[in-house]
Chains A and B, each alone.
Chain A
Amino acid sequence: MSAVRDQPVWRITRGEAGYPAALLDLGDDAPNALHGCGSQRLVHELDRESTVTIVGSRHPSAYGLEVAEELGHLLGAAGLVVVSGMALGIDAAVHRGVLAGNGATVAVLGGGPDFIYPRSERQLYERVVAKGAVVSEVPPGTAPGPGCFPKRNRIMAALATMTIVVEAAEPSGSLITTRWAYKLGRDVGAVPGRVTSRVARGTNGLLADGAAVVRDAQDVLDLLLGVGVTDTRREGPPLEPELTRVADAVDGGAATPDGVAGAAGVEASEAAVALARLELMGYVRVDGAGRYERTALSAPGE
């Protein structure tokens, strides 16, 4: 199958009505035209104040993927337009989250708006085009080349009032996006990660440099809309003390039943039972390699 999708492409040139005003902040660097697929209206009505950009590593941890999807889901559901780059990893997870929450999302591509890249995200591409919009500054049919993506990042930074990085190594494309955001006077937020993690080095660095701490969607809403506008935390069923201990052990980084048993001070078979119960309640999840992680679900009173 060809990477170029046969479908109508629209175009807005600079100076035309409907050209996103936020892009003009780029001055001479503002793109001369935007080519797009999907909802033209969504792009016309883009309002910087209610738009966030979420980007991150193409090689995230399962933790990063979960946070990205959750942020996309809740911020989209809260009515913000979520911009990202449809790259593998964090970007794709963000779009997925927004779509799952029936929110509005815009993908800014490095190649032409009808050029599906990465190819493996064809399905996601179709869904974003159907429910949101895909835009690019390069004409239809162009394959993304080296240099396209760093240039594309300035558009993502300019469109939103805040750029949030979920996970980024150092150096990384996401950090280029934040540099543009700083240059344009936009807010920058970062999700804290483990200090030993390679993909948290960039984000923790941003936090050290004064970026806003993003622990959950509520933090973002507090920053953008004022404290306490909506509550986005999700609570699960109540936990017995032993389950709480096991859940805390997983929180603390124990990923295998053996590790959990050691950290929570229970027998391996008890740990296995507790983990299965927590998984059934939705407090922990398992990846393909059988390793456990806490989900964003919080226990009552936590």
Chain B
Amino acid sequence: MLATARTFSLLGIEVREVEVEVDVCNYGLKTFSLVGLPDTAVRESRERVRAALENSGFDYPQHRITANLAPADLPKAGPSFDLAIAAGLLGASKQLKPEQLAGVMLAGELALDGSIRPVPGALAMAEAARSLEARAIAVPVANAAEAALVQGVRVVPLERLEQLKQLGTDEEPAPPEAFELSLNGAAPTGSDLADLRGQPYLRDALEIAAAGGHSLLIIGPPGAGKSLAARRLPSILPPLTRSDAMEVLRVASACGFLSRGHLAVRRPFRAPHHTISTAGLVGGGSPPRPGEVTLAHRGVLFLDELGEFTREALEALRQPLEEGRVAITRARGAVELPCRFMLVAASNPCPCGRGEESGECECRPASARRYRAKLSGALADRIDISVAVDRPTAKEMGAGRGVDSASVRARVVAARERQELRLGAGRCNADMDLAELRSAAQLSREARRTLARGHAQLGLSGRGYDRVLRVSRTIADLAEAERVEAEHVARAISLRRRGNE
């Protein structure tokens, strides 16, 4: 007797439909073979399925069982196939009616006692179920909230394996309440910029970076508030739009971050340690898993101690930064992952952190020079703004709280609106191409002269020149100015990235 159950395989943050065909043969030895490129976790599914069936009051067929995961050439990984395998087995052994399984997608990991554990990627699975026009998708209770974000497909939350009997009957568990994302006017979440004492220039730099989507490098000794400032950047970025929020949730779902039931919609902030591998940073593995750049999608990727990251890892960041997506190519096809994030990097001025000017620096000259060379070479053509900071003085520490995130964010939102009017929805100054930059710049005569002097006097390279132009456009947008004035250019010059001496 043959039965089929349908489920999904997670690839990156997308899913592919997988059919589980189960055949129970009425003769032969008692065996259970699983074919169709299962990995170890999938192969071990046989043991979980057997125990869960027996502990849920079902009969485990005492005959030869064959389960095939189709398409057979797609590698399958992870335990999310358990539920579909169990359902197929129940269908093949006539414990479930074929019509009960018709049009239902199933995903879930089984515990030995028959309860159902959450799986990653339920949101993408629900979306895929909708586009396949499935009647319903059965998911673990813990994944029900994220799946219910998708309108137009019935979500059946399952807690235990025996609830499969209720599928297609009047007792079928009711879909969870549809969850509405509250986005518009959402207050900034997380830590507030008001915690940053003093350091007005650093605040300005954060505001300009947020307003234009510019990547930012903060250089200063330990204790200068570099990470403190970076962590507060998401709170001054504009609120997420609904479609952006869904992208963020899709990534979080694929990584299993949502299964604990809370669906906080906020811009992600990721701060990987500098020992991270290249695959961990940009994604990789087989099957491909999202890296930190994808986890930071629509949010902030913070690289503390930029100079300590391996050269390979930093090199691998180039394509994601430029294209906003990573392609991971494997022998069996490519997976594309989104990664539009704002890069914030921080660094000590030298390996010991004290800074050569402090007079207390104990670094060897050669190592200090190597460090600086690496720092100025690292992503040199991808970082628009660089700012040097010092530890705040005692007076600044004692002063009251600074301006809070909400008021800064209002200015950032206004500046972004000006950019969208010029460039189109969802775009900002950081992703202008050269032609757009030239036409958007609108330099006043004085500004043009300042730029020309910068070119001659400071030896700005062509790229450096364009970056100054780009950042001055953002400063003008923040000042609600139509034209870029000399003052805006001068501020952009003071924020420029310095080359290696």
The answer to whether B375 and A288 touch across the interface, beta carbons within 8 angstroms, is: yes
Bound-state Cα–Cα, A223 to B390, Å: 40
Within B190-222, the residues touching A (CB, 8 Å) are: 198-204, 219-220
Interface centre among B219, B360, B388, B491 (most CB of A within 10 A): B388
Contact with A along B373-411 (1 / 0, CB 8 A): 001100000000011111001011000000000000000
Within B308-357, the residues touching A (CB, 8 Å) are: 349-350, 355-357
How many residues on the A side are at the interface (Cβ–Cβ under 8 A)? 40
**Does chain B have a CB within 8 A of A58?**
yes
Residues of A within 8 A of B490 (CB): 272-273, 276-277
Contact with B along A261-272 (1 / 0, CB 8 A): 110000111011
**Does chain B have a CB within 8 A of A289?**
yes
**Does chain B have a CB within 8 A of A275?**
yes
The answer to whether B493 and A279 touch across the interface, beta carbons within 8 angstroms, is: yes
* Chain B, residue nearest A258 (CB): B201
The answer to whether B493 and A288 touch across the interface, beta carbons within 8 angstroms, is: no
The answer to whether A261 and B200 touch across the interface, beta carbons within 8 angstroms, is: yes
Residues of B within 8 A of A276 (CB): 450, 454, 489-491, 493-494
**Does chain A have a CB within 8 A of B482?**
no
Bound-state Cα–Cα, A120 to B375, Å: 19
Residues of B within 8 A of A259 (CB): 390
Residues of B within 8 A of A257 (CB): 201, 387-388, 494
CB distance from B421 to the nearest CB of A (A): 24
| Known interface pairs A280-B453, A288-B499, A289-B388; A258-B487 also in contact (CB < 8 Å) | no
The answer to whether A272 and B201 touch across the interface, beta carbons within 8 angstroms, is: yes
The answer to whether A262 and B494 touch across the interface, beta carbons within 8 angstroms, is: no
Bound-state Cα–Cα, A208 to B360, Å: 21
Tell me how many residue pairs across A and B have CB atoms closer than 8 Å.
120
Bound-state Cα–Cα, A203 to B239, Å: 57
* Chain A, residue nearest B497 (CB): A290
The answer to whether B204 and A268 touch across the interface, beta carbons within 8 angstroms, is: yes
Interface centre among B202, B349, B493 (most CB of A within 10 A): B493
**Does chain A have a CB within 8 A of B185?**
no
**Does chain A have a CB within 8 A of B458?**
yes
Binds B, one of A27-35, A76-84, A103-111, A191-199: A191-199
The answer to whether A280 and B458 touch across the interface, beta carbons within 8 angstroms, is: yes
| Known interface pairs A273-B491, A275-B494; A258-B199 also in contact (CB < 8 Å) | yes
* Chain A, residue nearest B364 (CB): A59
Q: B359: which of A196, A269, A273 is its contact (CB, 8 Å)?
A: A196
CB distance from A257 to the nearest CB of B (A): 4
Residues of A within 8 A of B454 (CB): 276, 280
**Does chain A have a CB within 8 A of B500?**
yes
Residues of A within 8 A of B303 (CB): none
| Known interface pairs A58-B365, A199-B359, A268-B201; A290-B491 also in contact (CB < 8 Å) | no
**Does chain A have a CB within 8 A of B439?**
no
Within A43-81, the residues touching B (CB, 8 Å) are: 58-59, 61-63
Interface centre among B201, B220, B494 (most CB of A within 10 A): B494
**Does chain A have a CB within 8 A of B495?**
yes
Bound-state Cα–Cα, A275 to B365, Å: 28
Residues of B within 8 A of A286 (CB): 498
**Does chain A have a CB within 8 A of B366?**
yes
Residues of A within 8 A of B349 (CB): 289, 291
Bound-state Cα–Cα, A198 to B356, Å: 10
The answer to whether A272 and B457 touch across the interface, beta carbons within 8 angstroms, is: no
Q: B357: which of A88, A279, A291 is its contact (CB, 8 Å)?
A: A291
Q: A287: which of B396, B458, B494, B501 is its contact (CB, 8 Å)?
A: B501
Residues of A within 8 A of B386 (CB): 290
Residues of B within 8 A of A288 (CB): 372, 375-376, 498-501
| Known interface pairs A268-B201, A272-B495; A291-B388 also in contact (CB < 8 Å) | yes
Residues of A within 8 A of B395 (CB): 262
Residues of A within 8 A of B201 (CB): 256-258, 261, 268-269, 271-272
**Does chain B have a CB within 8 A of A97?**
no
The 4 closest A-B pairs by CB, nearest first: A197-B359, A290-B388, A268-B200, A276-B490
Residues of A within 8 A of B (CB): 58-59, 61-63, 88-89, 120, 194, 196-200, 255-259, 261-262, 267-269, 271-273, 275-277, 279-280, 282, 286-291, 293
A-B contacts, 15 of them at CB < 8 A, read A61-B359, A88-B365, A256-B201, A258-B202, A258-B389, A262-B396, A268-B200, A269-B491, A272-B201, A272-B495, A279-B494, A280-B453, A288-B500, A289-B349, A291-B355
Q: A276-B489, A280-B454, A287-B501 are in contact. List 19 more A-B contacts (CB 8 A).
A: A58-B365, A59-B361, A198-B360, A199-B359, A255-B388, A256-B388, A256-B390, A261-B201, A268-B200, A269-B201, A273-B494, A275-B494, A276-B491, A287-B357, A287-B498, A288-B375, A289-B219, A289-B355, A289-B372
